[in-house]
Amino acid sequence: MASSRFPGKPLVDIGGLPLVVRSARRAIAANCFAKVVVATEDQVIVDVCSRHDLESILTPTFPTGTDRVAWAAQQLQRPWVINLQGDEPVFPLELLRDLCDLLPTDPTALWTAADTGLTAADRTDDDVVKIELGDGDPADGLDFFRTLPADGGSRNFAIHVGVYGGSLEALSRFAALPIPALETDRRIEPLRALANGMPVRARKGTWARAAIDRREHISTVLRMLEGVT
């Protein structure tokens, strides 16, 4: 709830429903999850979920969403977990389904996604997290940046899509790792995995999506909701 850029964001009205409710229903619509649970440290969000017949779990405070989801997965004893952030009401369903299929192919990895439609504007936008990729699809995540390195012209960068997943064992390992200075400096949580020798694997593709980071993003999401499938 205490977003510096958008206070109260999880409960903002998006076409008649709170944002967090729309995002949870988006996960349900993927039809690839045995259970969809909203993990939050805020009792107000728990109450809202209850009113909309959504399961939720109240968590302690954590430094990142992946730490929170790892704790929730441990409490619920779920063997495979995907962390869809609560500001993603039009997240691509095909990507959620792909990740559900991919998690068991490498149960040691932290899984995420990479949008290969990186534009010139994205390359210089510090709000757009970039992932450096190895070969193949899925690809190894080699590094993450907000500001691209000056010598990065020949390297393979994409937009990092902020969805994470893994086995219960992998997420529990991630949450127990020390937080490196680089994660704190860049504000990119999978850098913790890389710094500690944990593989990061990324599904590659290009998807129509729009998260709500700021209030001005709401109009874009509302337009997408008119034709969402």
**177 with 89: CB under 8 angstroms?**
no
The domain total for the chain is: 1
- Tell me if 135 is assigned to some domain: yes
- Closest by CA position to 123, among listed 143, 149, 141: 149
Q: What pLDDT shows up at residue 222? A: 86
Q: What pLDDT shows up at residue 3? A: 53
Q: What is the CATH number of the domain that holds 36?
A: 3.90.550.10
**206 with 117: CB under 8 angstroms?**
yes
Q: Is the pLDDT confidence value at 1 over 60?
A: no
Q: Is 128 exposed, middle or buried (0-12, 13-18, 19+ CB in 10 A)?
A: middle
Question: Given the structure tokens 């691209």, which residue do they identify?
Answer: 148
Q: Is the pLDDT confidence value at 5 over 80?
A: no
Task: Provide φ and ψ at 209, rounded to 5°.
Answer: -155, 160
Residue 47 CA to chain centroid, in angstroms? Answer: 23
DSSP state of 187: T
What mean pLDDT is predicted for residues 190-199?
Answer: 98
Vertex 155 angle, CA 150 and 156, to 5°: 130
Residue 68: domain span: 9-225
Q: Is the pLDDT confidence value at 183 over 60?
A: yes
More confident residue, 153 or 3: 153
Q: Is the pLDDT confidence value at 178 over 70?
A: yes
- Tell me if 4 is assigned to some domain: no
| Pair of tokens at residue 171 | 């997420």
- Tell me if 1 is assigned to some domain: no
Reported as a single tens digit per residue, the pLDDT across 63-104 is 999 999 999 999 999 999 999 999 999 999 999 999 999 999
Lowest mean pLDDT across 6-10, 13-17, 72-76, 198-202: 6-10
AA letter at 5: R
| Pair of tokens at residue 44 | 């107000």
Q: Is the pLDDT confidence value at 9 over 70?
A: yes
- Tell me if 30 is assigned to some domain: yes
| Pair of tokens at residue 166 | 């893994």
Q: Residue 143 and residue 163: Cα distance in Å, rounded?
A: 16
CA dihedral 219, 3, 159, 183 (to 10 degrees): 180
Q: What pLDDT shows up at residue 221? A: 85
Residue 4 pLDDT level (bands cut at 50, 70, 90): low
- Tell me if 122 is assigned to some domain: yes
Give the predicted TM-score (pTM) of the model.
0.92
- Tell me if 81 is assigned to some domain: yes
Reported as a single tens digit per residue, the pLDDT across 115-133 is 999 999 999 999 899 999 9
Q: In residues, how long is the chain?
A: 229
- Closest by CA position to 217, among listed 105, 90, 55, 129: 90
| SS3 state of residue 63 | coil
- Tell me if 3 is assigned to some domain: no
Q: Is the pLDDT confidence value at 2 over 80?
A: no
What mean pLDDT is predicted for residues 46-57?
Answer: 98
- Tell me if 20 is assigned to some domain: yes
Q: What pLDDT shows up at residue 214? A: 77
Element (H, E) at 23: helix 19-29
> What average pLDDT does the structure give for the chain?
93
